[in-house]
Amino acid sequence: MPRFCKQLLMKKKVIFIVGPTAVGKTACAASLAVKLKGEIVSCDSMQVYTGMDIISSKAGKALRKKISHHLLDIVSVEKEYNVSQYRAAALKVIKKILAHDRVPIFVGGTGLYMTILIDGIFKEKGENPEIRGRLYEESKKLGSAFLHERLSKVDPDAAVKIHPNDAKRIIRALEVFEATGKPISLLQKNRHGLADTYDVRVFCLNKQREKLYQRIDERVESMFDQGLINEVRSLLALKLSKTAACAIGIKELKDHFGGLCSLDEAKALMKKNSRNYAKRQLTWFRKDKRIHWVEIGDDEKPSQVASRIMKELNPK
RNA sequence: GCCGAGGUAGCUCAGUGGUAGAGCGCGGCCCUGAAAAGGCCGGCGUGGGGGGUCCGAUUCCCUCCCUCGGCA
């Protein structure tokens, strides 16, 4: 078969570079983008927000000038944002990049965004702030176990999977049931993602745990050198959305500004929270068996890591 | 040097003559419209070293070492 025919039949590649915070995704992906003629698409729940440059470690201006970056700075920190919106935006970006004959390279640490993009999400809206708010109040008054009991009557499958203390998920499941009349466990079965249409390759960068934690400490320090204090001050002047307010550094520095803790204590807490976050990220990625793991050596440069990924993409 | 307090988990400490706990940390896991969020599970330990009493010692006794406070 002629080469061009074969190419027409082949699914187009969509690449993901994921990994725990501070592992070095940005630099590695940039190098890969150059080698591959690719464009970067952020896969990060915080980098979508404007004004959260330092706190979310966005790619710098110089890098963005050199390589096209997408899905950065697309929403105000005062607006709520979620996976579903992200997914819709990402799908559009993929088409756009492929239309230019470039390779979409997703880069980020938000495991849920990655999974939903690859595996899909159910179509029904099922989101209703009113219902959710009411359920939240109920769970505060009566306890999440009480709502869990109710959930096991309307959606036993979901109830079995959700722990009675996990208020968020219980509320979400009940919200969906009230809004759509259908159990969430049923809706979740009907999903279609990228994997149906594209040749999806996922690479998870990792480092020796001790080294990773060291890099996390260094990153927190460098955020302060770059002016984190001022950035967070201006963020706190706004009415932050629930998601944006969750960024590591917001609460810690708010407490410090309020005189509740010293700057050193705030920094130490940020480091600890980032470590815990990195651990959860790794757990998430570990269970995804499609992922190719890329262990980064001690002195390995981003371009070397990118070369290794290139080899895995095009085995001879 | 003397007097006093103390040496128990990575840290701060509790407790008991029958081989030890708590908080934090740390590790593992779950996750489908707030995900940098939220939830679950796990003690990870030659009880400062050595000796003695006792059926049995982390707990009682002796001794040595170390830390802290006071007096010199």
Please write the tens of the pLDDT for every residue from A42-64.
Answer: 999 999 999 999 999 999 999 99
CA–CA distance, A149 with A132 (Å, rounded to integer): 17
**pTM of the complete model:** 0.90
At A152-183, the pLDDT tens digits run 999 999 999 999 999 999 999 999 999 999 99
ipTM above 0.85, yes or no: yes
Protein residue with the closest CA to the C1' atom of nucleotide B36 = A247
What average pLDDT does range A119-147 have in this prediction? 89
Q: Please name the amino acid found at residue A116.
A: I
Distance measured from the CA of protein residue A276 to the C1' of nucleotide B12, in angstroms: 21
Whether any strand B atom is under 7 angstroms from the Cβ of A230: the reply reads no
Positions of chain B reached by protein Cβ under 7 A:
25-40
Q: What is the mean pLDDT of chain A?
A: 93
What residues pair up with A293 in beta bridges, in sequence order?
A204
What's the rounded Cα separation, in Å, for the pair A158 and A184?
7
| Torsion-angle region of A26 (φ positive above 0: left; ψ -120 to 50: alpha; else: beta) | alpha
pLDDT at position A98 over 70: yes
Residue A93 CA: distances (Å) to CA of A40, A43, A103: 10, 12, 11
How far from A246 is each of A27, A53, A80, A183, A243, CA to CA, in Å?
Answer: 25, 15, 12, 29, 5
Q: Given this model, what pLDDT does residue A11 score?
A: 86
Distance CA A84, CA A72 (A): 16
Nearest to A235 by CA among A220, A251, A214: A251
